[in-house]
Amino acid sequence: MTKASHKKQPIGVFDSGIGGLTVANAINTHLPNEEIIYFGDTAHLPYGDKSADAIRYYCLKIVKFLLERNCKMIVIACNSASSAAYDVLVDFFPGAAIFVNVVDPLVESVVTKEYKKVGIIATKATIRSDVYQRKLREQQPHLQVVALPTPLLAPMIEEGYFHNKVSQVLIETYLSNKKFAGIEALLLACTHYPLIRTDIENYLGKGIEVLDSTLVTVKAIETKLGKQDLLNNKKDNEHQFFVSDYTQSFEETTRLFYNEHLQLDHYAIW
């Protein structure tokens, strides 16, 4: 059991920037009674180009910030952070909250199916960690897994360049890689990528399933809260959104990841 003891305690969600708002938005949609405290570490984005040690350091500081705000659950809404820091965070804050990453739910959704070959696109840090490849092979040793870092996609999305020629050219450049020949599914292992899921599906065509972690992570959140009887059954919440470095452009860009305008509060955690 964790120290979380009350259904009305908030869920803490964090990412290197605002890509994790795709997860926060899904929580808000499917678990509308839950209060969310979001932290985007915009001072250090993108995590995908950082070392694992640097990512762990940032995550420890952010989780401390969220726990100080009495969060019952911490959702690591970033694949780079999930792959580099999840185990460290669980060990460093034993029993302090329920921890959920975005890697395990996506892996579990893949292994329930009978794929022979799957592809993965993600940041450099996520691909370098080998976390998806390792976890998938542990559960399905005969599954062929091919992975490709796609570092230009996240900054492209944050700048609003998708559903246009820019995104089409980048997606085609990456996905035309010969290693993806014969894949039956493509894993979008970055919380930015759901915003270009349609573009990717259009390029790949029918017959290749495109999977992301958004909805499967929300299901994992619901299951874990339910097991500890911590699902909030009354809507009386007020969400809070913090960033470590504020710019007007970030506040405007949040509309891309969250279906409404958000007020971002600058909190100088560093």
Provide the annotated active-site residues.
78, 190
Altogether, the residues listed in the chain come to a count of 270
Residue 51 · residue 123 · CB < 8 Å: no
Tokens of 63: 């989780």
CA-closest candidate to residue 157, choices 200, 119, 124: 200
